[in-house]
Structure 1
Amino acid sequence: MVYCLANIPSPACTGSQTDLSTPTPTDFLSRMLAGLLPDELERSDSRQLLSPIGHLPLLTTRRATMIVNRVRLFALLFALLTPLWIVVDVATLPFPLWAQLAALRLTATAAFAALFSRARGKSSLLHAYRSMATLFAIPTLFYVISHLLMAQHRLDGLSAALGTGYAFLPFVLLAGFAVFPLTLLETAAFAAPVLLAYGLAGLAEWGGSDWPSFTAEFWLLILITGVAALASLCQLVLMSALVGQALRDPLTGCYSRRSGEEMLAIQFDQSLRSGTPLSVAFIDLDHFKRVNDEHGHDAGDVLLKNLSRSVNSQLRGGDILARWGGEEFVLILPSTDCEQAMQVLARLYGTGLGERPSGKPVTASIGVAERTCDHAPDWRTLVQLADERMYAAKHSGRNGVVCPLRQCASEHCNSCLGRAAITRQQPAVRLETA
């Protein structure tokens, strides 16, 4: 069966249309954040400060690792410092109260120690959320219970002065958000329980009799939350910039091989867990050495930049283009089977890969591999299969694509891919790994 790419809608039919809709509150917040950080953040990237949705997998993984590391650091610090205040409670508070608070402190210490030991070894964002929620839940519960216990006693003098120190715990907790690289939505979600706990404790203590004092303190908590949220956003901007610099190839602007390998490993694991397809296209430019030899390396650099720009303009949101080395590129297509991968390549050929200095079109030899079709045990095997098929395309005359399925193949389909040829290959035998 011949698979004809001429039946695929042209890029002009599938491209995005100009958005003339009314700006949403999210758009307003994005513009505001971009305006607050004009030299640090592009407006197109400002949405990543509002929500973790849409973050690059590599940024998500590294951010989750940083959050877990911060959680373990705080858990260790609290586990060491929390029991030390028992001595002060014993010296200043009456017997029933200090004994109850001592038991509460020891329980909190054990919880912090357990969090420190159990939070290691994982870097998923869900695990980071659980760890951070536990970190802030322990002192929040400690504050509520200790507040209720002290409300049952009439403290005066030094006991009352030291007892007020417990009331500052929510302020310390909310200020602690400043050390985590969080989005605005994440900060609001984690801060809400702390603010709610403080509000309920205040209502239990005053019962509406001292609203001015309670309102002033609650407003101060909100201000501290806002400052901590801004500090978290600044950390996220800095982290995103550093990850972006490490991700990108300095010449072409696409992803470097190292970052491409990391993201491919992440995508492969996600594909295994969800049972979704994952395609890889290994792209090698035809006769690139002639460009360097005949026109100089500057002309070759311009060709690579134009190719990267042309390819990236036709990719979907989750697709990843990485420069593998020299004139070789790897295109990572998550949740994409072989047939859909050929549609992506059809869009690329439809717009062209650029022009050589002589004015002739740039051509490439491409090998395609897909995880479920090729039964690849790991991402390295997937890349190896795509690499071998790329060489098969070269040996078949270059300017072609070798794919793993017959129904994705077509011989010399000039009407679909211009001068490119799609060669046929039987389903590949799974390669054994060392």
Structure 2
Amino acid sequence: MAKFKHFTLEERVSIEIMLKASLSFKAIARELDRDCTTISKEVKNHIMFKRTGSYGRPFNNCIHRLTCNHTYLCEKSHCRIRRCRFCSDCSKFCSDYKAYTCDLLSKPPYVCNGCASLTKCTLEKAIYNASYAHDEYVLRRSESRSGITISEDEIKRLDKIITPLIQRGQSIHHICVNNRDLIMHSEKSIYNYIDYNLFSTKNIDLPRKVVYRPRKKLKNHFKVDKSYRIGRTYQDFLEFMKENPDTPVVEMDSVEGTKGGKVLLTIHFVDSQFMLAFIRDANTSRSVIDIFENLYLELGPDTFLKLFPVILTDNGSEFTNPKAIEFDRQGNRITRIFYCDPSAPYQKGAAENNHELIRRIVPKGQSFNSFQQKDISLMMSHINSYSRKKLNDQSPYSVFSFLYGAKTLAKLDSELIKPNEIIMNPSLLKY
């Protein structure tokens, strides 16, 4: 039996073929001279999900899809599909919609490759594809061999241990020696984390460290697991929009003040040019997730699904946990996230252009540290009340209100500013 060897592309192709032939994991393992648990892990770790329907039927994963009698829920003037069970958009507006996942996917082989009903099924499919699995494996292998990685929760845990002891004048060596079982990281790693400003303590708090000349370091200190982009690239976004041309798009980005200070998260609704902005203490993925969880609770599932069907963003490290935003705590999908190509901000140009209005009020290089969320909400109310030529001289506030209602605007803490009272310079936030 093969041991300690990675799967090759040829072996993955064999797995795909045998899954399609409905062979069990044990049978596949015998053919490839592997352990059946290894085959099981390989399949489960590289499942590709597809939201496709069947011949003549669109994707529909509602539990009532076979008995539903609703008609014309999507209220689209061009929609000629009377029965909503045959429409791919009506589930977004249906109050009876409840996502359903095939029970067969909870047990081996965990995928639909060999299912006899695959060509007739309208549910979300779980597919093992050899090329997809191998590309994902190569990417993860490459990422695991470069840079350093540490979770945000682990950073917080270490910070609570190390920072108080450093403030007592203890050295990193003394701390690591006497707290080895608690810290469980090497002394060198702790120094690296402090260098990269992951902790509350800084190099200036280490008396001996500041007298040494720092060594030259590579610019890219951290590895970012880029496997999250698989199935979410800009090309995937274009294909999705081609299949769903009437889906409104939301563009998401970050706006920095000064390095290491507070950061804005901006959410731009392309169809109305309406923009939300939220202040964050640090540019972390957790802070982005918290904002969307609060929006989901404040707006409610129906309104959230209507406002955020598709989100397009860049490749910033704060956006590297898309699944935490795409699914609620019960595992139901509530949005879709796609990523622009690297170094291609023009692909979400609407948000970038709107940032120029923010810079009129908070010039580039000025810190956000003195601002609270109420200040940012005030700034965005003025910006969203500002008339736009592209909107036929209407304001984004007015267009958004027409599309989604005044109640939604109230939940988003946005108010209409009278045209002659709008301030679009730094004096707005100076008290």
Task: Work out whether the TM-score is over 0.5.
Answer: no
More helix by share: 1
- Structure showing greater relative contact order (alpha-carbon pairs closer than 8 Å, 6 or more residues apart): 1
Query: TM-score scaled by structure 2?
Result: 0.27
Query: TM-score scaled by structure 1?
Result: 0.27
